[in-house]
Amino acid sequence: MNNVLAIDIGGTNSRVGLFDEQGRRLMITESETRRDGGREWMQEHLVKQCGDLLAKSDYPVKACGISFGGPVDFQRQTVTSVHVPGWKDFALAEWGQNAFHLPCQVENDANAGALGEGQFGAGRGTNSLFYFTLSTGIGGGYVADGRIVRGRDGVAGEVGHIPVSDSGAPCSCGARGCLEVFCSGTAIAERGREWGRRRPEGVARMIELSAGQVEEITAKTVALAAAEGDPTAVTIMKEVGRWLARGVLTIVRIVNPDRVVLGGGVSQAGVVLLNPVREALQEFESPTIKYSTEIVLAELGTLSPLYGAAAVALKLSGN
Ligand SMILES: [Zn+2]
């Protein structure tokens, strides 16, 4: 028996885990990312957290997979963070190899999420799946026959940056009119706040759930209010679902995967998000171009990228 080490570095939370040969989780530690600590804080933190797990492992640990929440140059195994200082072109896999004395490989969090759900979650048993990570922004990963489709420049699957409108706020990528601007977690929160500024009486429940402050409304509080049936929150989630459905249908039209998996923090909203997406897809239906791609929620929740990192490590270790 052997085990593997998995690491998920995110802008809000980071997780480390020990997994067995079958990809079963043995131990997981989760902590908040201290953004102001930059890269150095994260490195020290990981050395400690992973050191604890390695010390507790009953079997030899053979490899390490890392999911990184930011652009990853897979060929060079370097990462860059747009939110946290110190990560520009950082050779993360090489650092991991030296820090943990293990073979190490890095994937971006969307690809890792796709691998995690594909092997251990909602994509089990499929030949192809497209994974959406819905959080602050929107990312995507496409797995076909067990392999990530990367494309010529390694940017295949960047579904959040499909242009869907001539208008809209500037996107985090520097372009305009991207899908992400209309249905990311940031967009959901912003819609809630906009309603709150214009008609606070119409969003009383959302404000109540957000510490009484319009500016504290988040995607989570909008989703919670929608789950309770709050009419304004339901309207927001319907609009968001409709935009997201356009992205999903674009993917279905291009690669027609077995399954589309909706993951990331925003997908924790559950049916409040999934139902509007499915309803909009029915509305967009073509009587002639039929498809049987299933649209489902991620099964591993916020742990999809960590499981994906474990999948990467298992492959590295020859499993
Ligand atoms: Zn964009």
Residue from 280, 299, 195, 183 nearest 240 by CA: 183
Predicted pLDDT of residue 263: 97
- With cut-offs at 50, 70 and 90, classify the pLDDT of residue 36: confident
- With cut-offs at 50, 70 and 90, classify the pLDDT of residue 190: very high
Residue 189 included in any domain = yes
Q: What is the mean pLDDT of residues 128-137?
A: 96
- With cut-offs at 50, 70 and 90, classify the pLDDT of residue 276: very high
Do 83 and 146 belong to one domain?
Answer: no
Q: How far is the CA of 180 from the centre of ligand 1 (A)?
A: 6
Number of residues in the chain: 319
Q: How far is the CA of 243 from the centre of ligand 1 (A)?
A: 14
Sequence letter at residue 181: V
Buried/exposed code over 286-303 (b: 16+ C-beta within 10 A; e: otherwise): eeeeeeebebbbbbbebb
11/81 Cα distance (integer angstroms): 9
pTM to 2 decimals?
0.94
Do 278 and 312 belong to one domain?
Answer: no
Q: How far is the CA of 170 from the centre of ligand 1 (A)?
A: 8
Average per-residue pLDDT in the chain? 95
Do 256 and 309 belong to one domain?
Answer: no
Do 205 and 137 belong to one domain?
Answer: yes
**Surface-to-core class of residue 278, CB atoms within 10 Å of its CB (0-12 exposed, 13-18 middle, 19+ buried):** middle
Partners of residue 296 on adjacent β-strands:
261
Do 83 and 136 belong to one domain?
Answer: no
Q: How far is the CA of 81 from the centre of ligand 1 (A)?
A: 16
Predicted pLDDT of residue 50: 97
Q: How far is the CA of 307 from the centre of ligand 1 (A)?
A: 27
- Tokens of residue 11, six digits: 């802008």
Q: Looking at residue 102, which CATH number applies to its domain?
A: 3.30.420.40
Sequence letter at residue 293: T
CB atoms within 10 A of CB 141: 33
Do 9 and 24 belong to one domain?
Answer: yes
Q: How far is the CA of 230 from the centre of ligand 1 (A)?
A: 30
pLDDT at residue 83 tops 90: no
Residue 120 included in any domain = no
271-to-17, 41, 112, 171, 313 alpha-carbon distances in Å: 29, 37, 24, 27, 33
Pairing of the two strands 128-134 and 104-108: unpaired
Do 173 and 194 belong to one domain?
Answer: yes
Residue 144 included in any domain = yes
Do 49 and 150 belong to one domain?
Answer: no
pLDDT at residue 319 tops 80: no
Do 159 and 282 belong to one domain?
Answer: yes
Do 184 and 102 belong to one domain?
Answer: no
- With cut-offs at 50, 70 and 90, classify the pLDDT of residue 11: confident
Q: How far is the CA of 37 from the centre of ligand 1 (A)?
A: 27
Give the total number of structural domains in the chain.
2
pLDDT at residue 238 tops 80: yes
85/82 Cα distance (integer angstroms): 8
Q: How far is the CA of 175 from the centre of ligand 1 (A)?
A: 5
Q: What is the mean pLDDT of residues 43-60?
A: 96
What is the largest distance, in Å, between two alpha-carbon atoms of the chain? 61
Q: How far is the CA of 16 from the centre of ligand 1 (A)?
A: 29
Do 292 and 151 belong to one domain?
Answer: yes
Three-point CA angle 189, 194, 198, nearest 5°:
150
Q: Which of 79-93, 203-217, 257-271 bottoms out in mean pLDDT, i.e. has the lowest? A: 79-93
- Tokens of residue 153, six digits: 């420049």
Residue from 129, 160, 157 nearest 143 by CA: 129
Domain span at 62: 3-115+303-316
Partners of residue 129 on adjacent β-strands:
143, 259
Q: What is the mean pLDDT of residues 4-11?
A: 95
Whether the Cβ atoms of residue 59 and residue 65 lie closer than 8 Å to each other: no
Do 134 and 233 belong to one domain?
Answer: yes
Partners of residue 263 on adjacent β-strands:
133
pLDDT at residue 200 tops 90: no
- With cut-offs at 50, 70 and 90, classify the pLDDT of residue 12: confident
147/47 Cα distance (integer angstroms): 30
Q: How far is the CA of 254 from the centre of ligand 1 (A)?
A: 19
Residue from 148, 143, 173 nearest 161 by CA: 173
Q: How far is the CA of 176 from the centre of ligand 1 (A)?
A: 6
